Amino acid sequence: MQEKSEILKLESVANLRITMDDYFSRLRIADQTRAKKIAYCSSVGPAELLYSMGFEVYFPENHGAMLGASKKADTYIPTAVAHGFSPDICSYLTSDIGAFLQNETPLQRSGFTAVPKPDILVYNTNQCREVGDWFAYYARHFGVPVLEINTPLYINKLSPSIITSVAAQFQEIIPELEKVASQKFDMDKFREAIALSHDGCVLWRQVLETAKHIPSPITFFDTAIHIGPIVVMRGTHYAVDYYKVLLAELNQRIKNGVSAVPNERLRLYWDGMPLWFTLGNHAKLFSRLNTCVVASTYSNSWMFDDLDASDPFVSSALAYSKLFIVRADKEKEQVLEKLLEEFSIDGIIYHESKTCPRNSNNRYGLQNRLQKRTKIPFLEIQGDLNDARCYSEEQSIIGIETFVQQLIHKKYK
Amino acid sequence: MYRIGIDLGSSFTKGVLVRNRSEVVDYFVTRTGFDFAKAARKVIDHFSAHHAIEFPVYTCGYGREKLDAEAVSNSEIIALAKAVFELYQKPCTVIDIGGQDTKFIKIDELGQVEKFKMNRKCAAGTGSFLEEIAFRLDISPLEFNEFAQQATEEIRINSFCTVFAVSEIVGKISNGSNMPGIVLGIYNSIIERCFEMAVVEDFLVLTGGIPDNHPMIVSLFQKRNPNCVSPEKSQFLAAIGCVLLQNSST
């Protein structure tokens, strides 16, 4: 169903386009001229280290999201499946590898002939194990090295032994990076990148926290788009510059009494991945229902305030192991409970993503435990980040509309 | 005053003509087919032909917004909850088994939806599951019931997938399993899908086309949960609820 409601666009969208276009231009030039080395990096991998060593950094997960948003992932996933990848594994992976096998990418609209060729690939398992297999595929194809930082999954207490181990692994990959980069690691440059990453993350946090204001100047569907620079330019001044402007616009909205959803009556929390192929429809649907999705696990994940230029390795280990997705349910519940209160949440939507179990937090009863404690109702919808075949839109709309009516009654009658 | 409530479901469109506040004076059901507006128009034409007056129309269900009249659209979950509470006036759990959805709805002491859940992405345990099996085995709902009544032991059907379930059934038949036991297994597989949606702790109300057309399913539910009822013509309750909701909002 195509939603007809209008949504209020942020003026910063134009600036976002320029910022992202410039990022891809730098990558394209590096790819064409090979004047700079290119590293593939997982979305919460060691971007700062790579930027500090002179790499242009490309993020396959960002590309996966682009494929989902282009609504063409369904045409790529079967190709990957035909090459031996299960349709039940990460659909970022299957759509990205499927598109690669078909030699198609949305980047072709920006002058690329194909995705940029890597000189090295680096990932951190803090997000999921799939990135390992994903990056290994490209390492085999291009005949280039692949490096791993192995963070334990399902962390309860963030113990010193975990931090020490992860920090050591950050250091251990440096010699191989130096070899590929043909330059020596420079501690001062790394500190500078860590400082910029910290500043960008703090600004991103401030952007997200403007949604604590009632009514909110921004929705989850905005942040899912404006998250781009903190994902791909973390550790550079580009991200810092971008979020300064976005934050100013949002503060101005608050000052002028402008809300993202014109008549905000409800405030929801979104847990799980966005459904990229129908993100715009969701934005319009919630706007029509006078409901603002004000906060989300997804957008909140890129807040690495613990990064500290005075101790870059240990603080990197701390920041990237503190990440929501890598924590045990007990820790996640505490984080969620705090957010529900801070953002004045009326209800929670859990998107159970068929191919992204680590980003689906309603599989082990967390949703029931949290409701018992907070009394905040929830709705579960089944779908997927990229594979539209796993999603029944009409059934989900009925669920969302009913949920909104249920909450309106609870709040106002 | 007369009003029409229409529930435009994926398989069937159900209509009621309501006099005054909540007195249902006529029912009409038709296959939805591919044209929601046409199915709704059939309902309206039926009531107009038999009662010779124009009525305001209220809709819910999958095709709720497809009607080209001044219809008011409702969530069928809210509408169904409204009608069930009107009937029983106490907190309860509703399990509604429709064409492609199975819904679990918990209603509080004020008649409000406290929580709800829908089946997960696939039609296992819904009316479509039974329809497909009935079509492939060429048996009617009446024969389904008769077979289930004759069963002395259940033959379990394991497959979630409707298509694979049919293959499993055909395999069991060719291995000499008896039809009554198989049909009992089919019914129980639907019941199991319902009970795994959420924990039922209170009075249980079964609604939808499946309980209406397969009374043995209701008996089997009652074996597991004696505190279970299924009102007559329960598939029309959401349509009735559409009209009742207008009483509340005016």
Q: Inspect the interface and report whether the beta carbons of B75 and A401 lie closer than 8 Å.
A: yes
State residue B120's pLDDT score. Answer: 73
B120: in domain: no
Scored b (16 or more CB within 10 A) or e, A334-363 reads eebeebbeebebbbbbbbbbbbbebbbbbe
Average pLDDT along chain A: 96
- A27 vs chain B: nearest CA distance in angstroms? 40
Are residues A273 and A385 in contact, defined by beta-carbon separation less than 8 angstroms? yes
Instruction: Give CA separation, A210 vs A204, A248, A292, in Å.
Output: 10, 10, 13
Q: Are residues B72 and B6 in the same domain?
A: yes
Residue B8 lies in a domain: yes
Nearest to A92 by CA among A374, A410, A358: A358
DSSP code of residue A118: P
For chain B, say whether A377 makes contact (Cβ under 8 Å).
yes
What pLDDT is recorded for position B122? Answer: 75
The fold for domain A190-412 equals: Rossmann fold (3.40.50)
Question: Are the beta carbons of B112 and A377 separated by less than 8 Å?
Answer: no
Report pLDDT for A3: 54
A12-185 with A190-412: one CATH topology?
yes
Residue B232 counted as domain residue? no
- Select the residue of B113, B120, B121 nearest A402 (Cβ to Cβ): B113
Q: How many folded domains does chain B comprise?
A: 2
Q: Note the ipTM here.
A: 0.86
Give pLDDT, residue B69: 55
Q: Indicate if the pLDDT at residue A319 is higher than 80.
A: yes
Question: Which residues of chain A lie closer than 8 angstroms to B62, CB-CB?
Answer: 394, 398
Confidence category of residue B65, pLDDT binned at 50, 70, 90: confident
Is residue B119 situated within a structural domain? no
Q: Where are the domains of chain A?
A: 12-185, 190-412
pTM: predicted TM-score of the whole model, two decimal places: 0.93
Q: What does the pLDDT read at residue B52?
A: 73
Condensed to tens digits (0 to 9), the pLDDT of residues B71-109 reads 677 789 999 999 999 999 999 999 999 888 899 999 999
- Burial annotation B212-231 (CB, 10 A radius, 16+ → b, else e): bbbebbbebbeeebeebbbb
Per the listing, tokens 């969701």 go with A282
A382 touching B, CB under 8 A? yes
Q: What is the pLDDT of residues A41-82, one digit of tens each?
A: 999 999 999 999 999 999 999 999 999 999 999 999 999 999
* Containing structural domain, residue B12: 2-76+237-249
The predicted structure's pLDDT at residue B121: 67
Q: How many CB atoms lie within 10 A of CB A273?
A: 26
Lowest mean pLDDT among A84-88, A289-293, B245-249: B245-249
pLDDT surpassing 60 at residue B26: yes
Residue of B nearest to A347 (CA): B115
Is B75 in contact with A377 (Cβ distance < 8 A)? no
pLDDT confidence of residue B66? 74
State whether residue A392 sits within 8 Å of chain B by CB.
Answer: yes
Architecture label for domain A12-185? 3-Layer(aba) Sandwich (3.40)
Q: Would you state the pLDDT for residue B207?
A: 97
Residues from chain A contacting residue B120 (CB–CB below 8 Å): 382
Residue B227 inside a domain? The answer is no
Q: Is residue B230 pLDDT above 50, yes or no? A: yes
Span A110-115, mean pLDDT?
96
Minimum mean pLDDT range among A127-131, B16-20, B122-126, B231-235: B122-126
Interface contact B123, partner A, CB < 8 A:
no
Predicted local distance difference test score (pLDDT) of residue A304: 95
pLDDT in tens, B113-143: 999 999 876 777 788 888 888 888 899 888 9
